[in-house]
Structures are given as C-alpha cells and as structure tokens.
Structure 1
Amino acid sequence: MVNTERSAFEFLGDWSGQFIATAIHNGHDIRAEVAAELVLPDEDRVREEDPHTDEIGALVPARVVVHRSRFEVDLNRAREKAVYRSAEEAWGLEVVRDPPLDRALVAGSLEVYDAFYAALGRRLDAVAERGPFVVFDIHSYNHRRDGADAAPAPWAENPEVNVGTGSLDRDRFGSVVDAFIESLARAGTSAGPLDVRENVRFRGQQLAAWTHARYRDRGIVLALEFKKTFMDEWTGEADQARIDELARAVASTIPALREALIEVETL
C-alpha cells in the first residue's frame, strides 16, 4: 500500500496511567518513492510485518500504533540499521531494486525514525515523572516458514508468547516480569492455557533498549512476540475471535502488574 496521507504513527487512548502498548511493526504504508524501489512482492512484505498487533494491544489504556511499514523504516532497529539496504539486512530477502538505496530516500525514511522516537520520548517523559511504567511492545512471528502445508516449527523453540527481556534490569524488575508471565499464562483462551516463556526466540530490540537506557530506574519493556496462531501467515486470513481473546488476556495482566509496580517503587 502506498499511503502517506495519514500519519506515520499515532498515539491513542488515555496517557494518564502507567501502561502503554506499542505496535511498531503493524504498518503497511510506504512512501511512493520508496515503493518504486521495492522488488519484494507485497504478500512477502505482509508476511514479515506484524498485522493485527495493534488489535492485540487495543485494550491497554495508552497505545502507539505505527502505520508505516518496517520495509521503509524499521523502528525496532538501531538508527544506522533502520533502513534495509541489502538482502543481508532483511533475512536474505531481496527488498530493493538496486542496493544501496539513494541517500535522499534513506534520509526521508530516517526522518520518520527520528520523529517517532522524539515524540515517544516526550510522551514517556511525562509517564516516567509519575513513577515506574510498563510498555507492552507487541510483535508477532511466523512459525510455518517451511510452507503453508508444512509442519509448524517445533513447540520447544516456539512459545505462544515469547517475552523478551534482554536489555531489562532483571535484578530490579524481575518481579514485574514474573507477575506478567504468571498472569498471562493464567488468563488462558478458549484453546487452553497460553504458553508464555521468556527469551526463547527473541530478547527484544531497539524500542526496549532505548527505553531501558532512557528510563533506567522506571521503564519496563516487555517485548512480546505472539506466534501467528491468530492468523494464517501465508494467506493473511485473521482469526478475529482469537485476536480478541489475546487482547483480553494482555489487558487482564494489568492488575497484577500494578501491584508489582507498587512493590518496585518502594525498593
């Protein structure tokens, strides 16, 4: 989709509390001049994006939703790697026609990157003034990469929900992580309990690292990777009932997290 009429990202909901959900890989929009350089088929691009992650976080009071595709600028990478310039930077996918991209195109994409982190910083500065806070950094991941008719990836290495805490000070905030994992696992769904595990497939990337560095004693990012059992990753067909269940499950963890934050604040 070529669309720059709407904003690259938006802030939604009530920001007077301490719980925020982000969906920074949710978007599919892209600037026309960047789209002209792409050779990656649209269906492959969608497969590597994280559709419906905005819906999974929809019941969290404050939300950040990104509409711009990660194939224009990846907000979960360090700035110097945020624009995919070669297949090596994009899981072996041939993304652009003639790498490297023109410097002016890269600069235009990095303007989105800089604007996003500047705006998010202004919002989170106000949140941090009130005390510790939790960011649900919501992503999704493919588990049927061998093909639509092939067996899914092994369960042992692919939890239903991977909680990434690689850059978090777990000595200080471990009780918050534990409260989240226990609460989300208890929430369950119509398909049974959720399999929630920490740092199995993913450990969190730039959004988590940036937040933890900027708000060292207050920011807690839970980088959540939901296995795409809520959709067909090959056709893109969504299971709306499953998405709604996951949204309710995430929101249901907030009371337990609120108690854990109170304990952290007294340390």
Structure 2
Amino acid sequence: MDGTTLLAPGLQVRASKPFGDRPARDVDALMAQRIRSARARTVFVSFAFILAALTLWHEGKPVWGFWPQTNAIITSQDEFEGRYGKACNLGLAYPVDNQQVRSRATVSKRCAEAPPIGTTVTVRHDQFDYGWVEIRGYPGPTWIWVMGLSVIMFTPLALLALYVGVAWRRVLAVRRLRDAPWFEITGTVRASSLAAQNLLRLSLQPTEPGQPEVDLLFGIRPISFFPLPTVGTSFSVRIAGTGTGKVLVALPGHTGEAFGTVSARRL
C-alpha cells in the first residue's frame, strides 16, 4: 500500500506503507515498551530516594534534635588517639523508663579536659535506641558526617532522576508520534556520515521520480546493528511522523526504533 505524507514543513513524499494505516505505536508494541521502561526506572529511583531519605534521617537524628534529655553519671574514662587528635571515651550511666542504662560517648578532648569520673552531666539519647547518646555541651561532628553523606547519596540520585526524566520524555515523544503510520522510503544514498558517535546523518534520493531528496538525522544505538550505508548504494528506511520534522525511525530487517529529524535536503 502506498501513500503520501507530510514529514516536515515543505517535505511531502510518496512512500509505501508496510503496515497499512496501523499507527506506529501498535507495531512491535512500541508505546507499551517505552512505558514499561519508564515505569521500571521510576520504581527503582523512587525506592532509591526513599532508602536514601530514611538513611539520612536515621544518621542525622542527633542533628534534627527532639531527643529526650536526662542526667547521667560519668563512670569511666579511656583516652585514645582519634582522627583529629586525642579524644576521650566516657562511660555513662543514666535512667530511662525506670531502668538503668549503661553506654559510652566520645568527646574530642583529652580525658584531663573532659568531665571527670563521678560528674553528673546532661545527655540526650535516641527514643528507640537508649544506648545512642550524646553529652550536652560536647556534640560530635555529626553534622559534618550528615552533610558528607547527603552529598555522597544525592549526587548520584540526582543523575538517576535525570535518567527517569529522559525515559518519560521519550514516552511523551512517542505519544506525540503514535498516531502516524510507518512509511517506507527506498532510495539512493547521496550522503552518509556520523554526525556524532551514535548519530547518523543520511541523505536519500527516493527511487520514485519527482521526489525531493530527504535529509535524515537519527540515533543508531537503539537499532540493532547494521552496516553504515555508503554513497551510491540503495537503502530503505521507515519513518513515522506528524509533519513537524520530528520522526521515529526504523530499518527493515532490524529491531528497535530511534528518534530523529527529517527535512528536505538543501542543495
């Protein structure tokens, strides 16, 4: 079946329709495939964001605050060489919910400068993990750790979000082109070159006389391997578009579809 289609402003061609008037989205389940891919990426990235948020919330509890306070007695001191110099590990004993809790907390001071054994200090502890404690007036470098963790986690997550955005953008692109049927054009290759590593610029002179020369630019990565066409050879390409110059591109005998642009070649 043959037909005429407006592929871009000023570019109207006559070509065969290998699948009749069936919309491009119904051939090879193109639309469903794009939606499945976008949904899978969305679920994965959403799960990663939730996991990262929970991790950050948990690690940043001392920073967020809202921990209950109580009085604790220093029961021991152990000095050691910390990352930033001498530090002191203090043993603590304090009551929580009518039970005596023993825990330890580190202060970034020498033991001679830290609260001595037997001193009463005010501590803050986690509501669910009573042993996770911080001595008031001697906060650890938690906020530095939280900031570093947020940068480490959310930088790749931002890239993953961009990854999802690209997937849904492709869904929208297919949706805009989905109602057009596939048109197959066969012609002689006038020019063929890689505009980028995976972007083919192709000029075809259709075999049917009186047809304008077609300039096509499309990605080759989504399409299964094919030898790049050479000037003077015959080549067939399938195009689906709504007349704006934005098109879907497929090759007979190969799987996969790519996005591209089409125009009348300027001599």
Decide which structure has the larger Cα Rg and report it: 2
- TM-score under structure 2 length normalisation: 0.23
Whose helix proportion is higher, 1 or 2? 1
- TM-score under structure 1 length normalisation: 0.23
